[in-house]
Amino acid sequence: MIEWWYADNGKQAGPVDFDALTQLAQSGRVDAETLVWHDGLPSWQPIGALPELRGLLPPRGAVQHPAHPAGMPMPPIGMGTGHAAQQQAAMYAPEPRQGMGTGMKIFIGLMCAVVGLAVLIFVVSVGVGVWKGYHNAQQAAEQRQAARQQPAPVAAPPVQPAPQLQPAATGTGNGTGWQNPLTGRTAAVNEEWSAQDQTAQVRNARFAYLFTADNQKIAAKIIGEDAPSGYSLENIAQAYRRISAGDIEFYGPEQFTSINGYRVWESDGKSRKVEGYLVHVQIGLAGTHCWTLVTLRPMSDASGEDKLDALRTQLWSTVQ
């Protein structure tokens, strides 16, 4: 579960879960400009800049923020709203000194800008030089370390024949049908498909199976796991899109449908790792069960979509 940190009056607060962050938004303690962060974000971001958090913000004008306590000074500049900061700056700013002409002010301003730009260029140049020196030194150190740790060459062991993979006790196809270990129902998988247990390769999954056909050019993977508490199907779908952004280029259309009583989100995309392959993702959520079905086929194989559609229908028929 993602834990969020947020800025509260200039101080770091949290962590809180998604539900708690929603309550903070509804109560007006955080808004679209509030900075938030969680493990995985490169930097603090405003809530309004994160698509997955925009939905928790109330409509404009729906939240009335409490009045500022009487007798207390306004927040310092940079921690309150821009209007309040300007009011405080105007309240405590010293009276302008008389006698300096407009031309002199412009000249001094230009000189300060030139000096500031020169200082900025110098600092950036020094920083780049230091970073390059450190980077080169680090690479050299890693190369020396790798050279020291390189083992002495040994005689190659005799080549052993590759072991034959045996289908798992449950969740296998090969014409005899695939049994869903969560529901106990069986889907009739055609002879051309083979299934291999992949549970050990997927963390936190109740089970995961990979089906392949046509010399592994067409594949379907189904993952069953416990649904995260407090998350809607929309939350899970958006999280999957973020996590899979490095593997899949989603181009839609995104849509919600119902399959065997399950509300299902699905979308199309292209594989970023395997050039020329199309991806279709379906995610279903019901009760405490969450299902993810991913199918993959070459763009050049138009008939592959019909095969994958038939397999998707058989596998979803076991989800009840």
- 249 residue type, one letter: E
206 and 76 assigned to the same domain: no
Enumerate helices (H) and strands (E) in the chain, giving the number of each: 6, 14
Answer whether 209's CB lies under 8 Å from 233's CB: no
Percent of the chain with pLDDT over 90: 15
Q: What is the pLDDT of residues 20-40, one digit of tens each?
A: 888 888 888 888 888 988 888
Q: Which pLDDT does position 182 carry in this prediction?
A: 66
Instruction: Inform me whether the pLDDT recorded for 134 exceeds 70.
Output: yes
Which of residues 72, 90, 108 is at a domain's end?
90
Task: Using the predicted structure, report yes or no on whether residue 63 has a pLDDT greater than 70.
Answer: no
User: 51, 67, 90 — which closes off a domain?
Assistant: 90
Q: Which two tokens stand for residue 96?
A: 């302008």
Residue 149 belongs to some domain of the structure = no
Q: How confident is the model over 145-179, as pLDDT tens digits?
A: 776 665 554 444 444 343 333 333 334 444 557 77
Where do runs of H (alpha helix) occur along the chain? Answer: 18-27, 51-54, 82-92, 102-149, 233-243, 303-316
- Tokens 């969450």 map to which residue? 290
Is residue 172 a part of any domain in this protein? Answer: no
- Residue 59, pLDDT > 60, answer yes
Our CA dihedral for 259, 264, 268, 274, rounded to 10 degrees, sits at -90
The 3-state DSSP class for residue 288 equals coil
Answer yes or no: is 97 within a domain.
no
100 occurs within a structural domain: no
Assess if residue 134 is contained within a domain: no
Residue 316 has what pLDDT? Answer: 81
The pTM assigned to this predicted structure is 0.45
Residue 276: partners with Cβ closer than 8 Å, 6 or more residues away: 298, 299, 300
Range scoring the smallest mean pLDDT among 95-109, 256-270, 299-313? 95-109
Look at residues 90, 105, 135 and tell me which one is the last residue of a structural domain. 90
- Any idea what the CATH number is for the domain that residue 260 is in? 3.40.1000.10
- pLDDT digit string (tens) for 178-204? 777 766 778 777 777 887 766 656 766
User: Does residue 106 lie within any of the structural domains?
Assistant: no
Token pair 């939905």 in the structure block, residue: 55
> 59 lies in a domain?
yes
Which structural domain range is residue 300 located in? 178-316
| Number of domains present in the structure of the chain | 2
- Of the listed ranges 88-102, 107-121, 152-166, 281-295, the least confidently predicted one is 152-166
**Better-scored residue on pLDDT, 279 or 134:** 279
Question: pLDDT per residue over 245-272, tens digit each?
Answer: 999 999 878 999 888 777 899 999 999 9
Question: Is residue 305, in this structure, part of any structural domain at all?
Answer: yes
